[in-house]
Structure formats: structure tokens, C-alpha cells
Chains A and B, each alone.
Chain A
């Protein structure tokens, strides 16, 4: 087991290193010279050179890359002379445009992204699992067909459309929800919660549809398994047959997928955050793409990759805890 964990962790580090390398390569090769951008209109070649020097842009690719890695692990300094900016590890770079450290920008915005992701995940898991179970139990009947049409809708309506429609209906027309206001959780928890209802719902809708279908299919498949027949042949109570023999095998893959999807969302929900004006990592990504703030774009890319890779490993480990067949290091 420890070997399994160790090998997975090592693999994770390798993947993250490669992701770093490729993103760095892409931004190094493809983007216009940031120094020119920063310098603006009234600019002299000397000034550009100075900026390049301050940011380390005059160095060859490998040097820049190792500096970046070193900054990630141990921190680094930007600038020179009197205007030195200290960037503590994990240093993700320096945003030329906002004159801020990228790490700080992300740390500021990560909590709200986590709130969005957690809320949405709770919603879509509840809706998906309950909907899927209901569908499976009532297979072919009205409830099943009704849920099937809902999932079709959930899958086919783009979430920015859903966002605008719901906003218009619930906030503007029906006034069921208050107009969003910027409040902190501690100041007004009620308003804070209401602010998030729409983003959660919109973000969860598409996932909920997928999860409903997956749950339905898995439950129906599992109920047809021979071991469920064995369980019934043993004379177990139906509740026990369901709980122990049907749900566990049916829901394990659902949980696996949930782990991956959730990890993906921690990297920021671009569209939802932008539509609802939530200042999270997704909005940061969208804004920095618009303004071509390369260090930020790169950092957000890396962050998303980091969450996905870590999520993957966590899911793998969880799976091996749940499914004995995947357990490694146990002699057959």
C-alpha cells in the first residue's frame, strides 16, 4: 500500500513538472513581448531593456524556466536596485499589468471558487443520485421518462443561457431571490447564501444531468448482477439487498467521477463566475485572458492542472480503499 501511494505521488510530481514545462514553453514561444506591453506608448529601447532585466525576460528559456521552478519551491525576487519585490514560495510569477504577485491574486480568489465548487458539487450529487435512483426504481414509468427529459434539458442548455434565464425569472420577474450584493459571510450569512444559490444551481445543472444518467444506468446494471440474485436468495431484507449489494457497487463509479469533476472545478468555473460576477479563480482566468496578462494565465492553467492531478490521485487512493479488487500489494 505504501508503495502504491509512493508511486502515485511520484507520478503526480512528474506530470506536474511536464505541465509546467509545456505551459511555460507555450507562453515563452507564442506570446508577444511582455516588456513592450508594460512599457506602453512612450517608451525607449533602454526602458524596455530595463524591464526585461527586472523580470528576468532577457535570460534564455532554460534559465527562465529553472528560475520559475525555483520560485515555486523556494521563492524568488523580482526587480533590482531599489524596487525589489519579494515573492515567497510558492511563487507563481509577477503580474506586470496589475503589479501584483500572482500567488496573492490567486490566494485572494481561491476561497470563493471553493465555495462555488463545493456548493455545486453537493447540489449535483444530491440531484444526480436521487434522480438516478428514482429513475432506476421506476424504470420505464412516468417518473423515469420525466427525469430523462429533465436530464436532456440539463445537458443541452448551455449554462450561460440557463444563468441569464434564471436570473431574469427569479431575480427580475418573480423576485424570489434578492439582487446579488457584495457581502461577506460573516457580515450577512443569509444574503451571502442567497447570492450563491443561482451560481450553484447553474453550475450543478449540467453535472446533475450526467450524474442522473450514470446513476440510473449503474443501478439498473447492478440490480441485474448475479450477486444481487444471490443476496436475495439468501433471504436478506430488500433494504439490505439494496444498501449492501446494489448501491455500493453502483455508486462507487459515481463517487470517482465526482472527485474528478470537483477537482476540475477548483481550477475555476470560468463561465459561471463571469456571468454572475463572482470574483473567483475562473473570473481571474477570464480577465487575464482578455487583458493578456500572461503570468496570471499561466498560473491559473497550472493551478487547474494541479487540482486535476491531485484529484486523480485522491480518487485512485479512495477507490482502492473502497474496491478490494484494486487494492495493490495484497497477495492473490
Chain B
């Protein structure tokens, strides 16, 4: 692998929530490394801890979550960092694209206002006009047509795919070094999914930002990610380049995941479920 500069280094990250008197870990001993401008796919079923990992990086976990370990972003330790420091990175150098773009946009404000908001809060002395211009440019970069007009429209006036473009524009406008996309295509039509993935890839190449793509959908990561981490029950069960993971999965769970992808020549009885966490079909403990 090319020895490129590391942008994000996660070491032994553990996130746990108090349940009754016990602390239940949702992420355990996670290690990640991401070079500048690289793409990492985090794959796993729901509850595997992939979203918690991304929220931990953003410092957006609920206050009752306990975080240990280390998250170093471009030389800055984020675990235990003050809210002010986190805020200066959040939305400026690390931006996030969430799953359901309708509920993630505030219905009361125009998309332009919401796109420009991040920009205005991280740059001092930005006039309304400049901010609006930045919003229009960001919308153009994500190929929203008539951006100059649509910048004054409200989220409910956009289609699902367009809303996700707005979210991406919002993430882009501060020129972040890292974009975390958490299930960015899950709430969208299949036809739109491919467009959004292509857009994310295009944006990444254009801006040179690194991309963390979190998904349960293997087709999605295979399309975009260079490196893949497979998570289950808060633990990384497999990691490697996309090719390694897809052609030669080492872990039983990854194999089960790959097997569960339906093929066009499958009959309905052939659909395979992924075994429940804890035990596999062969009885060995999955970890």
C-alpha cells in the first residue's frame, strides 16, 4: 500500500451505554486507519456499531455514552476533547451525510440557509450574500439544476435524491478533509442510489477529501470503497482491500453476508439469512 499520510487513526475505541447498572458496549476495541483522500467502507448489519463509530468521531454521541480509546484526526485527539474544539472541527473539517435526508433537513428553513449555515459558523465575517453564493456553488457542485433559484426553496419542495444532494452540498461547502456518509443511500430509490454513490465518489475525487462510507449494503461498498472493514456486534471481524474481502472472505460472517446477497438466478427458497450474532450455523461463536 502507498504510504500516504494518515488523516484519521482510531485506536482501541470502545463505546458503551449504561443499561440498568451495567455498561453495555456497542463498539469494542475498534482500530481504524484512514489516509488522506482515501475511501473506507464500514459494513455491518444494524446494531453492529458502525453508526456509533461515526458519531463517536463526530463527538455527537449522547452524553450518557462512555467513550474510551483514542481518535486522532490530523494530529488532534478527539476523545475527551473540549466541546469548543470539537465544534471547530465538526462541520468544518469533518462533515457528515446522514441517512434520511428529509428528516435531517429542517423544514422551516430554505436549503440555501441550511447549506450556508455551516459555512457561516466556521468562517468569520461572511455576509449573507457571500454565504448564499457559497450555497449556490455547492448546489451546483452536486448537480442540482437551477441552483440559483432552488437555493431559496424548502426541503419539502425537493425529491428524495435531490434532498440527499442538498445534504452532500451542505457537507461540501466548508471543503472538509473527511466526509462521513452514514447509510447515505438507504432511504432512496434504487435508481437514485447509484447516482448518489457516483456523486459521492466524484465529489471525493474533486475535493480530495477522504470518505468513510457506512452501510449495510455490500453492493454500495463494492462500488466505492478501496478498503473495507466488516463489523459485527461492535467488533471488527474482517478488514482488507475491497478485492480481498470480496474475493476471499476470511471470516465466516463475511462469507454469510456475501452469501445473503440475492442473485438474479436465485429462487425464492434460496434466499439466505445471516446467522444471528453470537452463534453461527456451525455452532462456533462469531466474533
A residues apposed to B, CB below 8 Å:
225-227, 229-237, 240, 244-245, 248-249, 322-325, 330-332
**Beta-carbon contact of A332 and B156 below 8 Å:** yes
| B residues less than 8 Å from A237 (CB atoms) | 87, 121
Q: Is B154's beta carbon under 8 Å from chain A?
A: yes
CB distance from A137 to the nearest CB of B (A): 13
User: Known: A235-B88, A235-B91, A236-B117. Contact between A248 and B108, CB under 8 A?
Assistant: yes
| A-B contacts, 11 listed (Cβ < 8 Å) | A225-B103, A227-B104, A227-B105, A230-B167, A232-B90, A233-B90, A235-B90, A244-B109, A249-B108, A325-B154, A330-B157
Q: Is B137's beta carbon under 8 Å from chain A?
A: no
Q: Is B26's beta carbon under 8 Å from chain A?
A: no
B residues apposed to A, CB below 8 Å:
58, 60, 87-92, 95-96, 98, 100, 103-110, 114, 117-118, 121-122, 154, 156-157, 167, 170
Interface of A is mostly: helix
**Beta-carbon contact of B154 and A235 below 8 Å:** no
Q: How many A-B residue pairs have CB under 8 A?
A: 77
Question: 9 closest Cβ contacts across the A-B interface?
Answer: A235-B91, A234-B91, A234-B118, A235-B90, A226-B103, A227-B106, A324-B154, A226-B104, A233-B96
A318 vs B33: C-alpha distance in the bound complex, in angstroms?
Answer: 52
CB distance from A232 to the nearest CB of B (A): 6
A226 vs B103: C-alpha distance in the bound complex, in angstroms?
Answer: 6
A236 vs B109: C-alpha distance in the bound complex, in angstroms?
Answer: 15
A225 vs B121: C-alpha distance in the bound complex, in angstroms?
Answer: 21
**Beta-carbon contact of B106 and A249 below 8 Å:** yes
**Beta-carbon contact of A234 and B117 below 8 Å:** yes
A230 vs B96: C-alpha distance in the bound complex, in angstroms?
Answer: 8
| A residues less than 8 Å from B98 (CB atoms) | 226, 229-230, 233
| A residues less than 8 Å from B106 (CB atoms) | 227, 230-231, 244-245, 249
User: Known: A226-B100, A226-B103, A230-B98. Contact between A235 and B122, CB under 8 A?
Assistant: yes
CB distance from B224 to the nearest CB of A (A): 21
